[in-house]
């Protein structure tokens, strides 16, 4: 049985686009993804990064939910060290109340931006030390009964008893162990941290403990996709995406030959290694890669991030992948 295909959208700011246009492009992506049969779409949390418009995940989810009807929407994810678990529970409890059975909450332990942004986000640089405690608190706010335990108890209203599905995000074997011991679905960031994928998948499945939310392990693997009408067009698009994502490598390069030479440097090869798991090509070539990757990763679901040079090229890629894998 084919694995479900889902999307993660950091709301890239393409060349010449305003912030408003970038957000609207993301909303149109969600509408098209729903129409084409994608399973879910998650928004990422990035801070102090000028190439992305995605920072306030709950606001984006609310906006997208009002413009769509069925597709699951969520955060991929909320970086828990940046936030109070109670506030996260209230935000996502509100979303779940307004849009029942459509909201997901993926959580991670990173910052979602350069290290020096931590102080501005939370006024503290040691919050990752309490990550597992924060995760347990958040889970309690959403999954425990809303009954009042007394004057000193703290409950999320909305939030308590909504049972918003939690997903643990990570890029390490340690994160896989945390997800397994917590009995949570696990989304591994193989689209930018490829090396630990196989071990993380094995450890998660072998150490998984059932929970009220999840009786069986559910492993989601991230993968990059650049699909176009032809293989040559796909190569043009992926290089446009690489130039946008790595201005230090592409700045001042006057032509494609110079750009490719820069990426052949030690720094460039380290950059490209992050994107080892990438489906690049025409529709059928991309589909073959995604089928292979799902088996290689032992994935129950694939989480796709599109790498293109424009919003229009991303729309084409979305349709081509759906035509090759979600129809018929």
pLDDT in tens, 87-101: 999 999 999 999 999
Which pair of structure tokens corresponds to residue 16? 């010449």
pLDDT of residue 246: 85
What kind and span of H or E run contains 8?
A: strand 5-9
Q: Which residue has the tokens 């230090």?
A: 248
Fold of domain 5-325: TIM Barrel (3.20.20)
Whether the link from the prior residue into 94 is cis, omega within 30° of 0, is: no
pLDDT of residue 144: 85
Q: Domain ranges for the chain, please list them.
A: 5-325
pLDDT of residue 152: 58
Helices (H), the chain: 19-36, 57-67, 85-98, 118-122, 131-143, 173-182, 197-207, 231-245, 247-250, 256-263, 266-273, 283-297, 311-325
What kind and span of H or E run contains 6?
A: strand 5-9
C-alpha 4/C-alpha 12 separation (Å) is 24
- pTM value is 0.93
Q: Which residues of the chain have pLDDT under 50?
A: 127-128
pLDDT of residue 248: 75
């Amino acid at each position: 049985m084919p694995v479900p295909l889902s999307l993660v959208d950091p709301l890239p700011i393409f060349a010449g686009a305003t912030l408003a246009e970038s957000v609207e492009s993301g909303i149109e992506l969600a509408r098209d993804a729903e129409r084409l049969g994608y399973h879910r779409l998650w928004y990422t949390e990035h801070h102090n990064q000028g190439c992305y418009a995605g920072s306030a995940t709950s606001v984006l989810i609310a906006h997208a939910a009002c413009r769509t009807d069925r597709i699951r929407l969520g955060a991929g994810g909320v970086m828990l060290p940046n936030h109070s678990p109670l506030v996260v529970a209230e935000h996502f409890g509100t979303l779940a109340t307004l849009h029942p059975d459509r909201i997901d909450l993926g959580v991670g332990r990173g910052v979602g931006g350069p290290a020096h942004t931590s102080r501005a986000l939370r006024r503290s640089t040691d919050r990752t030390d309490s990550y597992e405690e924060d995760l347990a608190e958040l889970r309690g706010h959403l999954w425990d009964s809303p009954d009042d335990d007394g004057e000193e108890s703290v409950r999320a209203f909305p939030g308590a008893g909504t049972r918003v599905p939690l997903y643990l995000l990570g890029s390490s074997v340690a994160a896989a162990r945390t997800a397994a011991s917590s009995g949570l679905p696990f989304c591994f960031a193989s689209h930018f941290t490829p090396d630990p994928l196989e071990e993380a998948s094995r450890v998660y499945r072998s150490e998984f403990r059932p929970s009220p939310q999840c009786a069986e392990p559910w492993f989601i693997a991230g993968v990059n996709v650049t699909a176009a009408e032809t293989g040559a067009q796909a190569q043009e698009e992926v290089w446009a995406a690489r130039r946008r994502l790595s201005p230090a490598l592409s700045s001042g390069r006057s032509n494609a030959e110079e750009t490719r030479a820069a990426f052949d440097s030690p720094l460039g090869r380290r950059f490209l290694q992050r994107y080892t798991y990438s489906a690049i090509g025409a529709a059928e070539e991309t589909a073959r890669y995604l089928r292979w990757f799902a088996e290689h990763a032992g994935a129950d679901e694939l989480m796709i991030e599109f790498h293109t040079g424009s919003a229009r090229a991303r729309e084409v890629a979305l349709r081509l992948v759906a035509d090759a894998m979600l129809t018929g």
